[in-house]
Amino acid sequence: MTVNRRDFLKGAVAGAGAAGVTAAAGPASALQRPTPELPPEAVGLLYDSTLCIGCKACVAACKDANGMAPEIHRDQRPWNQGTWDTPQHLSADTLNIIKVYRHGTMEQKDRAENGYAFIKRQCQHCIDPSCVSVCPVSANTKDPKNGIVGHDPDRCIGCRYCVLSCPFGVPKYAFNDPFGRIQKCELCNHLPAGQLPACVDVCPTGATLFGPTRKLKREAERRLAAAPGERLHVPRGDIEGRVGGERLGHDAEAARYQDHVYGESELGGTQCLMLSGVPFDKLGLPTDVPDYGYPAEAEGIQHTLYEGLVAPAVVLAGLAAVTWRNARGKADGRPGDADDGPDSGDTGGGP
């Protein structure tokens, strides 16, 4: 125990030093476990904010596909009869949401100064997902092949640790239901095979594209490589044209992109990627983050201390030996303690 604890302290101090206040990139600690690889057939979404027109067709389609009720903001209750869905955040009734960034006069799209931009939020299907790492009963799982992060309500005990720990604020719990459950986007894996995720299916501009993460990344890099204003052919639906059938793409002018594919490296990388014309932190995404997932740190500590329960077993044996010796020493009537030893037999007795 003492040895372990001491080694652990050493590692932790060194790690804390290297991590720095802002948790800058790079491995932070000797305790850290490596980040997993992208699964072989990883699929995901590519959301291009510059192509999004904010029509919210995907929000409505997602609700349809998942059988979820519209959310009406409190202020609108008197007049909004439920025909207009107006969620403010992701919730147990909203797995997908379009939010808007606005600044100043909002003259121009995809510009930080006096501009505006859209952002789609749903599960990122992380390569090293916190929600899976923290779940005590394996209710959140990552498919080893396609990497989709799913949830099984029959396992979940409702501790809401996943709600707390997801760095993107994705899993949500139905607080107003006595038998509430966790809800999150599962990339529409409940739909029949061969059907596109609902949000992709309805997207008119190809702003939300489905496909293998590796291909989506190449597509994103192609767009970043184009000069602003250059004509680009933009696909729709499945980038491979397989799931949901072949679709017509369209031509668009390449935007003035931020030179980064969001999700490529953040927190160990995610299977859903994003492109944007305004800095990603303005869209409410965490940017000042390490390039490894937080589970790498937390599980590292856990493994160091509890791997195979060896350390606890050794410590327990040591503790038991010491207490046993002490107890026996006293039973033998060894003097020396202020109070006389316990178990001196038949003296005393109950009241």
Partner 1 sequence: MSGGSGHFAPLGGRLFTRTFAIASVLFLVAAVVLAQRFAGGLGAVANINDGYPWGMWVVVDVVIGTAFGCAGYVMALLVYILNRGHYDPLVRPALLAGLFGYTLAGVAVIIDLGRWWQFYNLLNPELMHGDSVMLEVGLCVLAYTVILWLEFAPAILERLGLRRAERIFDRGMFLLVALGVLLPTMHQSSLGTLLVVLGHQISPLWQSQLLPVLFLVSAILMGFATVVGEAVLASTGFRRPLERDLLGRVSRVMAYVALVWLVLRVVDLSVRGAFPLAFDGTVQAGMFWVEMTLHVVPLLLLASPAKRNQPPVLFASAALLLAGGIVYRINAYLVGYDPAGGTWAYFPSVPELLVTLGIFGLEVALYLLFVKKLPVLHRPEAHQA
- Residue 319's contacts (CB-CB under 8 Å, 6 or more residues apart) are 1
Identify the residue among 37, 41, 64, 288 touching partner 1 (CB under 8 A): 288
Residue 174 contacts which entry, ligand SF4, partner 1, none (Cβ below 5-8 A, type-dependent): partner 1
Identify the residue among 34, 144, 286, 333 touching partner 1 (CB under 8 A): 286
- Contact region with ligand SF4 (CB under 6 A), list: 106-114, 120-128, 242-250, 329-337: 120-128
CA dihedral angle for residue 294, residue 298, residue 299, residue 300, rounded to 10 degrees: 100
At its nearest, how many Å lie between partner 1 and the CB of residue 106? Answer: 20
Cα-only R_g, the chain = 27
Binding to partner 1 (CB under 8 A): which residues in 173-232? Answer: 173-182
- Could you tell me which of 298, 15, 280 has the C-alpha nearest to residue 134? 298
- Contact region with partner 1 (CB under 8 A), list: 6-14, 76-84, 237-245, 249-257: 6-14
Binding to partner 1 (CB under 8 A): which residues in 311-350? Answer: 312, 315-316, 319-320, 322-324, 326-327, 329-330, 337-339, 341-344, 347-350
**By the 8 A CB rule, do 54 and 282 touch?**
no
Identify the residue among 52, 117, 149, 203 touching ligand SF4 (CB under 6 A): 149
Tokens for 127, please give them: 């390569």
Q: Where are the beta strands (DSSP E) in the chain?
A: 43-48, 97-102, 108-109, 115-121, 140-142, 149-151, 172-173, 182-183, 208-212, 231-234, 250-253, 273-275
Q: Where are the beta strands (DSSP E) in 152-311?
A: 172-173, 182-183, 208-212, 231-234, 250-253, 273-275
Binding to partner 1 (CB under 8 A): which residues in 18-77? Answer: 19-23, 28-29, 31
Residues that bind ligand SF4 (CB under 6 A): 61-62, 65-66, 95-96, 122-126, 129-131, 134-137, 139-140, 149, 151, 156-162, 166, 168, 170-171, 182, 184-185, 187-188, 197-199
